[in-house]
Chain A
Amino acid sequence: MANKRADFDDDDGARVKRIKVEQNGNGKIKDPESNPYLAHWNDQPLKQDPSNSADLLYKFKRHATTAKEANVAEDGPLNPFTGQTLSSNYMGILKKRRDLPVHQQRAEFLKLYQESQILVFVGETGSGKTTQIPQFVLFDDLPQLNNKMVACTQPRRVAAMSVAQRVAEEMDVQLGQEVGYSIRFEDKTSPSTLLKYMTDGMLLREAMHDNNLTKYSTIILDEAHERTLATDILMGLLKEVVLRRKDLKLIIMSATLDATKFQKYFHSAPLLAVPGRTHPVEIFYTPAPERDYVEAALRTVLQIHASEPEGDILLFLTGEEEIEDACRKINLEAQELTREADAGPLVVYPLYGSLPPAQQQKIFNSAPPPLRPGGKPGRKCIVSTNIAETSLTIDGIVYVVDPGFSKQKVYNPRIRVESLLVSPISKASAQQRAGRAGRTRPGKCFRLYTETAFKKELIEQTYPEVLRSNLASTVLELKKLGVDDLVHFDLMDPPAPETLMRALEELNYLSCLDDEGELTALGKLASEFPLDPALAVMLITSPEFYCSNEILSLTALLSVPNIFVRPAAQRKRADEMKDLFAHPDGDHLTMLNVYHAFKRDDAQENPKQWCHDHFLSYRALGQADNVRMQLKRIMERSEIDLMSTPFEDKKYYENIRRALVAGFFMQVARRDGSGKTYTTVKDEQSVLLHPSTVLGQESEWVVYNEFVLTTKNYIRSVTAVKPEWLLDIAPNYYDLSTFKNNEIKKALQRTMNTVMRKESTKNKR
């Protein structure tokens, strides 16, 4: 299948907040020319040399091609786009492509595409829409004639890469030539690129510098039903762009769910639906609510294994720990079943975002053979997060076990917390999960809740990301996109007004917006960085604290998944290793120590081994290295000086901590009395330091990177700061007249008095 490669970048890891920069596969350094983020700085050369294309397509008239003509062109013998002879591999694939459900409706699609500027296309999983529709468009839109491209967005980077790979193969071209992809920090396109798969976030970034997206003649928003933040913003933007650019065509592609909503949003655009190729799935409910869904899930899996015919099992759970634990238990029980009850062998694979790729690939292994000839067939059981819900297809799944929960990002502007919480899934999600059982043959889905609960408790659709996110960085992007009136920006599902209010306020305190809501110079500069505004501002202002090199490293480290590895079996050893790098003043400085050690020659000799020995994630550190490189280029372009305080200087660490305050002054907490609890400034939430911190309990004031909401409130990645820095560096935020009368205000007042006294004595001298 086209997107057989798993997408492992789903934000199911614990660190959602600041992951904006994504991994670059092997961690190789890219030259600036190939950096798509910088693509707008490179002049776009004229892409087409007409002699390079086959003559065949020049007979076509733009937006008048029939399915028949296109079929003939596809049949060869010459490649209509390159003029090369088509390979036998191509012919083989072509045959399969013609069997796909979308192919039946090629004529119908072309008719609607030609007639309308906007089209909503609905295709169930397995219809072939992601690979075929863009090709159908190519044969009719003929972007090469106008020196334009067709863009097809994907919510996930891995999907963009793997689909581009597949389509390049289908079109018998080299990936990166006629068909390419563009994801953050990796651009695999060339001047001859006609079809570009890209992440939705990437297209949004491009729009920031090219508000009318003039490079494209057709834009296809794929997987729109997933309603990612970037897709929602793009829809709002494109709704306006199509009015300004009558020559731009727009296709919204969605799975069946709620497609009429898209139609309505785009002024009753025509809708074309293609059935998927799925088998019926029988759904079973429990007679009564379950006391423990994990326990019920394990029981169900084992029961399926013991009594159901051949076929693999997919179990949905919520997170890494829960999944690993479940795998262990299923393994033990299954072994016993095999021994005692003559059940077939059962192999269990975990699947979650932070799992190393090599281990993720194991899920594609085929089920084990029977233990003896004629014995009961073996099966595999995959225990996964909601990664397996939409983003990847595992053949052979016949049984789905659905407890009805997933970890979902939530944001609440009232306490300014963005966190991952275990929440009930939506009806749409439950249907999607069930559908996974019917990919190869008729299947069964076991829902671990009652039918009444399904009907009454589950919401219809999962809330779109725009309702569950901090919009500070989106607001900055929109301002850069030239959207001035954010209040009336036509989003499909506008968030609560307080979300926008909070985002504007945060940007104002960060000096990215002035009091009128206009973009400031700092705001413009910050929008250049693919970072959270607080991180961008910290990075931009770091030269004032003589530590931009260190802050650059730190920003990169905060933008990648956790660099510390703590396997359940070796926790003590892992903690000892972490203590080697620990800095008494906090976690940020500790991370920096790790990075510096990682970059030393002795570590670089065999970095993989070194990371393994020190319980560090080689992958995360490699990513951080890459991100650092990319950010450094942007800094150089923006003429932000790179400098360091000499390490011998006693202010080396203090300067870094002060620079930290410049970005994170809105994430500060103060210890209550002498206890263990802290109270966050202004929001007044009672929090505890996350157990992973290296910081002792004696620090009165701390900045934190993350507010983690569980049954307890935690702040994670904390570093000690001094109250006089807060008053000095962020006087607007720490304007005491805006504070409620409480301990924090009193403490800050005392600090202020001390500072003033000191200054007056200084002046007297």
Chain B
Amino acid sequence: MAQSDEEEDYMSMVFEDAPKAPKHETSLQRAARRRREGEAAARVKSKAELKAEAEAAREESLATALPSSNKGFKMMAKFGFKQGDTLGKSEDARKEPIQINIKEDKGGIGLESEKKRKFMETMAKADKEAKRIKATEGDYLELRRQEQLEKKAERQLYNAQKTAELLAEEAAEENSQGVSQQVPLKDVNVLWRGLARRRLEKNDHQKQERELHNSLASRLPVYHDDEEDNDSKIALGRDADPFYRSLMNDDVEEDSELAIFEALPAADRLRQIALFLREKYHYCFWCGHRYPDATMDGCPGVTEEEHD
């Protein structure tokens, strides 16, 4: 059974074919149909329905201009009348018949427009409110989207900086023939200096914490085991030599170059690093691959979009 193709998608809202009328109507069906039609025709419509229908027909006719197939039109055309022309010789002659307005109540002059005005006012208010809600909704979504983008860019930036740092260290190692050197912070490329600085700060911070802890502990009236030797101290997480080294050179120097760079949006910084990586190391951040030469054969482009 070649069912798979034929199988009907019963959830689909598309009607492939209009239901086919049975080719032959049986007499019973015919009788039923006639009865149905008869009932529909014979059903007495309510007065309101009739009035609404009559009004609708009237309004429709009133809104429909006489066609140019009208016999009168042809007689008028004989004298040069064209569709859209007016009669007579005055410039401001009427084009349309006077509208018919049927007054249905005893409301005084101005009541209708007063009602309308009030209605419009209410409508306008509601409209404004709806717009305001929608606008805030839109803002919020946009904000969220921006935040997401920002976060993503930050994440990528961090990765890019890591990569750059790694590549730079590798290059430095190669140059120094295996002798590893601690590069002073201000000599680190500004592109990833922030990364290095934050790491440094973090280390310092941890150090300080520890030192603080030790110093406090040393001053607090805690149990002090005189038997404790240095090994025991280290095992208990305390410095063997309480020393306030880091607390003393606490302030990190001002770095205006870094500050300027950090002030740029994350996406810009990311772009700069990506470009730097390409130029210096023929490395494409988006491909995640280091190419052998400057042509970078096989990389689709500089931006993330080009790598989609």
Contact = CB atoms under 8 A, between A and B. Distances in A.
A686 interface: yes
A247 B131 CA distance: 73
- Tier of interface size on chain A: 35 or more
A449 B110 contact: yes
Given A516-B78, A673-B41, A713 B54 contact: yes
A423 interface: yes
Contacts of B95: 496-497
Given A450-B110, A493-B94, A504 B72 contact: yes
B88 A687 contact: no
Interface residues of B, number: 52
A678 to B, nearest CB: 10
B58 A496 contact: no
B88 A488 contact: yes
B60 to A, nearest CB: 9
Nearest to B99: A412
Interface string B56-71: 0110011011100011
Contacts of A664: none
A710 to B, nearest CB: 7
A291 interface: yes
Interface string B67-107: 00011111110111100011111100111111011111111
B51 interface: yes
Chain A, interface SS category: loop
Contact of A289 (B54, B65, B90, B107): B107
B110 A289 contact: yes
Contacts of B24: none
A410 interface: yes
Given A494-B90, A496-B95, A497-B85, A711 B107 contact: no
Interface stretch (A53-61, A91-99, A292-300, A588-596): A292-300
B44 interface: yes
Contact of B89 (A292, A421, A490): A490
Nearest to B108: A290
Interface in A18-42: none
A712 interface: yes
B87 A498 contact: no
Contact of B114 (A289, A503, A713): A289
Given A412-B62, A414-B61, A414-B62, A492 B110 contact: no
Given A415-B62, A497-B86, A685-B57, A453 B97 contact: no
Nearest to B89: A490
A494 B86 contact: yes
Q: Which among A415, A421, A449 has the highest number of chain B CB atoms within 10 Å?
A: A415
A17 interface: no
A467 interface: yes
A517 B94 contact: no
B113 interface: yes
A756 interface: no
B285 to A, nearest CB: 70
Given A289-B111, A491-B88, A494-B90, A517 B106 contact: no
A115 interface: no
B268 interface: no
Contacts of A683: 61
Contacts of B247: none
A486 interface: yes
Contacts of B111: 289-291
Contact of A291 (B93, B97, B107): B107
Q: Which among A405, A458, A490, A496 has the highest number of chain B CB atoms within 10 Å?
A: A496
A415 B100 CA distance: 11
A710 B51 CA distance: 11
Contact of B76 (A456, A501, A675, A713): A501
B87 A489 contact: yes
Given A452-B110, A685-B57, A685-B58, A515 B88 contact: no
Contacts of B65: 414, 498
B54 A712 contact: yes
A709 interface: yes
A122 B73 CA distance: 39
Interface in B144-199: none
Chain B, interface SS category: loop
Given A292-B106, A487-B76, A515 B44 contact: no
Nearest to A454: B109
B62 to A, nearest CB: 5
Nearest to A447: B109
A412 B98 contact: yes
A499 B78 CA distance: 17
A291 B111 CA distance: 7
A173 interface: no
Contacts of A467: 94, 98
B53 interface: yes
A353 interface: no
A684 B58 CA distance: 9
B307 interface: no
Contacts of A405: 103, 109
B85 A424 contact: no
A496 B71 CA distance: 16
A496 B97 contact: yes
B224 interface: no
B45 interface: yes
Interface in A435-465: 448-450, 452-454, 456-458, 463
Interface string A702-713: 000000011111
Contacts of B78: 516-517
Interface string A387-422: 000000000000000011100001111110100011
B31 interface: no
A485 interface: yes
B175 to A, nearest CB: 89
A486 B42 contact: no
A741 interface: no
Interface in A504-518: 504-505, 508-509, 513, 515-517
Nearest to A679: B57
Contacts of B74: 515
A494 B58 contact: no
B50 interface: yes
B109 A289 contact: yes
Nearest to A514: B75
Nearest to B56: A686
Interface in B239-275: none
Given A453-B113, A515-B71, A685-B54, A412 B80 contact: no
Nearest to A506: B72
A448 B110 CA distance: 10
A423 B61 contact: no
The 6 A-B pairs at the shortest CB distance, nearest first, are namely: A453-B110, A290-B108, A494-B88, A504-B72, A517-B75, A501-B72
Given A488-B89, A496-B97, 13 more contacts: A289-B109, A290-B107, A404-B108, A415-B62, A456-B113, A487-B85, A489-B87, A493-B93, A494-B87, A496-B94, A496-B95, A503-B72, A710-B102
30 contacts: A288-B114, A289-B111, A291-B106, A292-B108, A403-B109, A404-B108, A410-B100, A412-B62, A412-B97, A412-B100, A415-B58, A421-B100, A448-B108, A454-B109, A463-B98, A467-B94, A468-B98, A488-B79, A496-B95, A496-B98, A499-B97, A501-B66, A501-B72, A502-B70, A502-B72, A508-B71, A513-B75, A674-B41, A677-B50, A686-B53
Interface of A: 286, 288-296, 403-405, 410-415, 417, 421-424, 448-450, 452-454, 456-458, 463, 467-468, 485-505, 508-509, 513, 515-517, 673-677, 683-687, 709-713
Interface of B: 41-42, 44-45, 50-51, 53-54, 57-58, 61-62, 64-66, 70-76, 78-81, 85-90, 93-98, 100-111, 113-114
